[in-house]
Structure 1
Amino acid sequence: MLISGVCGGGGIRAWLKEKPLLRQFARRRRLFATSCSVASSKKEKVIVISGPTGAGKSRLALELAKRLNGEIISADSVQVYRGLDIGSAKPSSSDRKEVPHHLIDILHPCEDYSVGKFFEDARHATKDVLKKGRVPIVTGGTGLYLRWFIYGKPDVPKASPEIIAEVNSELADLQRDGDWYAAVEFVVKAGDPKARSLAANDWYRLRRSLEIIKSTGSPPSAFQIPFDSFREHSDSSETDHSYERNSSAGASDTNPKDLDYDFMCFFLSSHRLDLYRSIDLRCEDMLPGSDGILSEAAWLLDEGLLPNSNSATRAIGYRQAMEYLLRCRQQGGTSSTGEFYAFLAEFQKASRNFAKRQLTWFRNERIYHWLNAARPLENVLNYIITAYHDSTGALVVPDYLQMRRDSSSSREVSELKSYRTRNRHFISRGDCCNILDWIKRTQGETCELREPIIV
């Protein structure tokens, strides 16, 4: 009677809106209950660090591993490939000697790698690290890899060897002829209209779609992804507790008691203008020298691979570099200054667009706590280490470390619209002479020797 009299027709939520102290108390009670349930389950902790390209997540993970006796599990779809070191910003050999790394240099670039294979490999590596009494630190920016790693993979049955052979036979001629669109329509007619949305020349996923149809009679979309059920729970939870919402970096409840590990997920980012400038300079830094991304792209071409033909050659940077060098080879190993700068601009633009897609993806991943990459590394490290040793399980990001996950301010949006790249190394015509000389020396049709890449 008392509550109904106070609340009137609005209910207790409306009443709590008008009572900030009681609202805060209710929130703390819910956090305490959640923390207790997580702590009581005594799950093993797994740290996940992600962020857009160029944000500094690899450096953060490395320093964190040193202080927590950890090992790093890469969640990068390009670092799995041998020989693709510069373009994937792969950890140096000295870093990998100091801290053990997993899922790096495990494949030749001619091999495909899938999110399902990553799930199995990363989960196996996690168990191995925990058995040694060390801390698993999963880091990378491939969103789908991390989503499956945390929430699980769809319960789609594996195809039999007979079905795999049948699918390979049906698509072999089309793949050999490079007739991607005919292959897509073949799979669409078999029962998967969403095959049209696949990235061009993603033959692995196209074959997998046909295998699933032949094995189950249903397309891949018929099988629920575990993440979807968690998202539905999170959405309903936010509706039930809408009065507690805020736009800070704190992650919302994602029903952690249903996950098999105590995942501590952090997303390291910065304001988009600063991020874009960092990315542009990073692309420049990958070019100079005989062991830069152009040299790695030349090796891919020498291996008989074409740009955008498989997982490795679709990667940002490698695709653009391979297309550029392919044109240079067709021109007898020559390139104009304008062609080089056009390639560099395309490389930078593709990298910025990729970072933008990463921000959009992880903005919808509510389990992540967003951290400001512009803050001193020591402060970020101390916060994560303290949170790791906190037995309550309640993660609250301090205000000075928070990075808002929502859209940019109107001023930043205006500045982004007028954004222009400002190069540091390549400004005038003469700045690319060494690279053009290298192309002439190594990419001509008559060149018998090319500068080798040790794999």
Structure 2
Amino acid sequence: MKPKVIAVAGPTASGKTAMAITLASQVNGEIVSADSRLVYKGFNIAAAKPDMKERQGIPHHLIDIVEPEFDYSVGNYYDDARKAIYDILSRGKTPIVAGGTGLYFRILLENYNLPRVEADYKLREMLDLKEKDELLEELKVLDNITYERLKDANKRRIVRALEVIKLLKKPISEMDIQKEPEFDVEWKMPVLTSRKDLYERINKRVDMMVEQGLIEETKYLLKKHGRIKNFVCTIGYQEILSYLDGEWTLEEALDKLKQHTRNYAKRQLTWFRKNPELEINI
């Protein structure tokens, strides 16, 4: 019998954090974050990281575990999340994997077998110098199937795909990427009434982030870490940095932040629609 895990997936601002915390209190559970930005220390307001009050005494795993300078990979997440899940199970509790990073769910709880390829930082830097459209054209030539899967992905994922293809000298689509799921998963998602409602929630969240100190947090992180990649490529910080640099007014920066977050939510929904266990009607 496979170990039982509950998964709470959903786009940003959908209410999945509150849902996971409520579930955890009902089933004697602990939460394993599935969010690629919550792993970073100091990424609080922009990442909508739940504070200790919001967590209501429920243990959370894989939050604030590395400094932003560290390039935390999907492979790192897979190893750390499995360790957390089995630790929770060993203590007779229920693991609840909750978040919005679709790839994390895919490799941890679904049937995707992650190719284990050591990072080649020199190759990655060379690829990163190219524009996203140029990278997509190269990916299309080398692996059209993977191109179709990643053409709407962020630049970082496209760079990593090209890195893997070049190092293994083989298209990802020809690799054995299917595996038997390790866990018996009960999938859940907050009820989404309409896309309009979700977008309104996103807009309100951005306004709340500013009230909570998003601008001050951005200044603090800039002073502490400088313009490192994980910082300047994070939605929330990148728009406020443009405001601080004088490129946009504050109003323009917040409008862009709302737009970018809505676009991100659309990409999340597209990813989660691939999972037949999740019913998405918006």
TM > 0.5: yes
2:209 matches 1:226: no
Q: 2:259 aligns with which of 349, 358, 370?
A: 349
- The answer to whether the aligner puts 1:294 opposite 2:218 as a matched pair is no
Distance in 2 between residues matched to 1:357 and 1:179, nearest whole Å: 24
Q: How far does residue 347 in structure 1 lie from its aligned partner after superposition?
A: 1.1
Mapped pair 1:358 → 2:281:
no
* Cα RMSD, aligned residues only: 3.2
**1:112–1:269 distance in 2 versus 1, CA, 3 Å:** farther
Structure 2: distance between partners of 1:305 and 1:219: 36
Q: Deviations over 1:373-422 (max 9, x none)?
A: xxxxxxxxxxxxxxxxxxxxxxxxxxxxxxxx345xxxxxxxxxxxxxxx
What pairs up with 1:19-418 in 2 under 5 angstroms?
A: 42-96=1-55, 98-154=57-113, 156-159=115-118, 167-169=120-122, 174=126, 179-181=129-131, 184=135, 197=151, 199-200=154-155, 202=156, 206=159, 209-210=162-163, 213-214=166-167, 216-226=168-178, 258-270=180-192, 271-289=194-212, 292-306=213-227, 310-327=229-246, 339-368=249-278, 370=279, 405-407=280-282
Structure 1: runs of 5+ lacking an equivalent:
1-41, 228-257, 329-334, 371-404, 408-455
Give the whole-Å Cα distance in 2 for the aligned partners of 1:168 and 1:68. 43
Q: 1:171 offset after TM fit, Å?
A: 5.4
The runs of at least 4 consecutive aligned structure 1 residues that moved more than 6 Å come to 192-196
Give the CA deviation at 1:145: 1.1
Is this contact kept in 1: 2:115–2:177, CA < 8 A? Answer: no
Please state whether the residue corresponding to 1:226 is helix, strand or coil.
Answer: coil
Per the alignment, do residues 56 and 259 of structure 1 end up closer, same or farther by CA in structure 2, a change over 3 Å counting?
same
> C-alpha separation between the residues in 1 aligned to 2:250 and 2:114?
47
* 1:225 CA drift (Å): 2.8
Deviation at 1:352, TM superposition (A): 1.7
Greater gyration radius: 1
- The TM-score, its normalising length taken from structure 2, stands at 0.83
1:108 match: secondary structure: coil
Q: Select the structure with the greater relative contact order (CA < 8 A; seq sep ≥ 6).
A: 2
Please, which runs of 5 or more residues in structure 2 have no aligned partner? Answer: none
Paired with 1:261 and 1:323, the residues of 2 have a C-alpha distance of 43
Tell me the distance in 2 between the aligned counterparts of 1:192 and 1:327.
40
CA distance in 1, matches of 2:259, 2:162: 31
**Does the residue aligned with 1:288 lie in a helix, a strand or coil?**
helix
Q: Are the counterparts in 1 of residues 88 and 94 from structure 2 also a CA contact under 8 Å?
A: yes
Q: Secondary structure at the match of 1:71?
A: strand
Q: Which amino acid aligns with 2:265?
A: A
Q: Partners of 2:114 and 2:235 in 1: how far apart?
A: 31
TM-score (normalised: structure 1): 0.54
Deviation at residue 61 of structure 1 after TM alignment:
0.8
Q: 1:126 to 1:205 in 2, by over 3 A?
A: farther
Q: % of aligned pairs identical?
A: 34
